[in-house]
Structure 1
Amino acid sequence: MAGRLDGRVALVTGGAMGLGKADCERLAHEGATVVVTDIALDDARDVASVIGGEALALDVTDEGAWQSAMREVEKSHGGLDILVNNAGNVIFENIEDCSLDHFRLHLDIHVVGTFLGCKYALPLMKHRHRANGGAGSSIVNMASTAALMGYAAIPAYTAAKGAITAMTRSIAMHCQDEGYGIRCNALAPGGIETPMVREVSGRSGEALQAIPDGPLPAEALGAPADVAGCVAFLASDDARFLNGVVIPVDNGLDARPHH
């Protein structure tokens, strides 16, 4: 329902393409003012211009960049209601092939990036409900079904996403115990048709597949909008009783028995 995020301020990392772009579009459609962040600032500006939002350059691994971004948000908006830690990467290498540098790269982008985002956004998000009403602020961290299942080809990615699920629960309980009025949840997408998935699946240069409307078969990829709808729900007051949970967005992949 359009309008359920009216008056809210949201920041999305990795918002220039793929899942992040879809998240920005959906949050804006629901009424939020969206700050689109990405290391690719020109692309972030393109997204922001379409949705009527703002763009900031942000390397999620850089503590100083996070501090600067939060200062800009506080200066422009006085606070923050929604944080979506979406920025990510994936390199397909098994445990024998994965270098320590690549392992650390995944941890830096996913785990350190999410840690820094939550750490520096919290002061802008706490107690927002006191002035604005509603059910409080919402952090949505992007995990993956890779954190719930065993994928031999991506140990670094699975380790990073597993850490995000655990950290999400810890942050949720801290904010609840302190009475901050901040919920923290994670989504665990399965196969979603994004530029990153296209590249790692050997379809570099090909057009993205069109995902049809309606029910999808078990083997189908999802659309970025399928994840974005869940982000908007968790960001809204409709999800006020969800806290510290990890929700698979995977068309039943995690629930299906595998033999």
Structure 2
Amino acid sequence: MGKLDGRVVIVTGAARGQGEQEARLFREEGAEVVVADVLDDQGQDLAKEIGALYVHLDVRREDDWRRVVASATDAYGRIDGLVNNAGILRFNTLLDTPVDEFMQIVEVNQVGCFLGIKTVAPAMPDGGTIVNTASYTGMTGMAAVGAYAATKHAILGLTRVAALELAARKIRVNAMCPGAIDTAMSNPAQLDPAADAEEASRGLDRFYRKVVPLGRIGKPEEVARLALFLTSDDSSYITGQPFVIDGGWLAGVSIV
């Protein structure tokens, strides 16, 4: 028996990284999974490998969201869960951030999350779940990622409001706040066939050993396990909450 037997869950940004690990784990736990992404080739390959449904989704487009909902209900008859995982990151100081770059991040991270809630929740039965991916930077500040941090703060606000508004239907809405996780977002070497991604990961571990109490960068599989907890009945009395998964980074600075 899996923790998600009989459930149908949409995972956005599922072609790689955290979303891929969430899709894999959810299938292992018995869910029917809708792999949604703009990376069609990778998304289709993953869906074929794990026995899932792939649907193209640009999270900025409401029509794309409607297509995902229609495809999921046509294929499986229902939608029980949503993991809003898709997101982008750009590094820039606030004073050097072009407005177009700021708005691009807002559209993908913040508007994409809003549209997911707005479009998928009406198609859910009572008792569904929504998991929004915020960030460590949604709980605090970080230089050079101002636009990203702003959207992740906004996602926490959306999560709390959605939890209140959907509580009457027993739809639970929570947020994950990952710190540094070893995906292509923080480790671009994973996207370069000529690069040594494993050595890059070891380099990240050496760097984060200085700032993260647990002494290493996080793994996408660890975030996937948190997403599973928030999607399963193990978290049946939890809604409207942010869950930090950062190796202790947010706890403070050690001077010892």
Quick check: TM above 0.5? yes
Shift of 1:181: 1.9
Shift of 1:258: 6.2
- Distance in 2 (CA, whole Å) between partners of 1:162 and 1:123 is 24
- Distance in 2 (CA, whole Å) between partners of 1:56 and 1:63 is 14
Q: Which amino acid aligns with 1:81?
A: D
- Distance in 2 (CA, whole Å) between partners of 1:21 and 1:228 is 9
Residue 148 of structure 2 corresponds to which residue in structure 1?
157
Residue 239 of structure 1 corresponds to which residue in structure 2?
235
Q: How many residues align?
A: 245
Could you tell me the percent identity over the aligned residues? 37
Shift of 1:76: 1.6
**Do 2:182 and 2:217's aligned partners in 1 also have CA atoms closer than 8 Å?**
yes
The answer to which structure has the higher helix fraction is: 2
**Do 1:78 and 1:124's aligned partners in 2 also have CA atoms closer than 8 Å?**
no
Residue 225 of structure 2 corresponds to which residue in structure 1?
229
Residue 252 of structure 1 corresponds to which residue in structure 2?
248
Residue 159 of structure 2 corresponds to which residue in structure 1?
168
- Distance in 2 (CA, whole Å) between partners of 1:196 and 1:257 is 24
CA RMSD of aligned residues (A): 2.2
**Do 2:84 and 2:132's aligned partners in 1 also have CA atoms closer than 8 Å?**
yes
- Deviation sequence 1:211-233 (CA, Å, 0-9, x none): 99xxx953310110010000001
Residue 80 of structure 1 corresponds to which residue in structure 2?
79
Residue 135 of structure 2 corresponds to which residue in structure 1?
144
**Do 2:113 and 2:132's aligned partners in 1 also have CA atoms closer than 8 Å?**
yes
- Distance in 2 (CA, whole Å) between partners of 1:78 and 1:171 is 24
Residue 206 of structure 1 corresponds to which residue in structure 2?
196
- Distance in 2 (CA, whole Å) between partners of 1:124 and 1:142 is 21
Shift of 1:72: 1.2
Structure 1 runs, 4 residues or longer, greater than 6 Å off? none
* Alignment of 1:49 onto 2:37: no
Residue 23 of structure 1 corresponds to which residue in structure 2?
22
Shift of 1:117: 0.5
- Distance in 1 (CA, whole Å) between partners of 2:112 and 2:176 is 16
- TM-score normalized with structure 1 length: 0.89
- TM-score normalized with structure 2 length: 0.90
Q: Which amino acid aligns with 1:13?
A: T
Shift of 1:200: 8.9
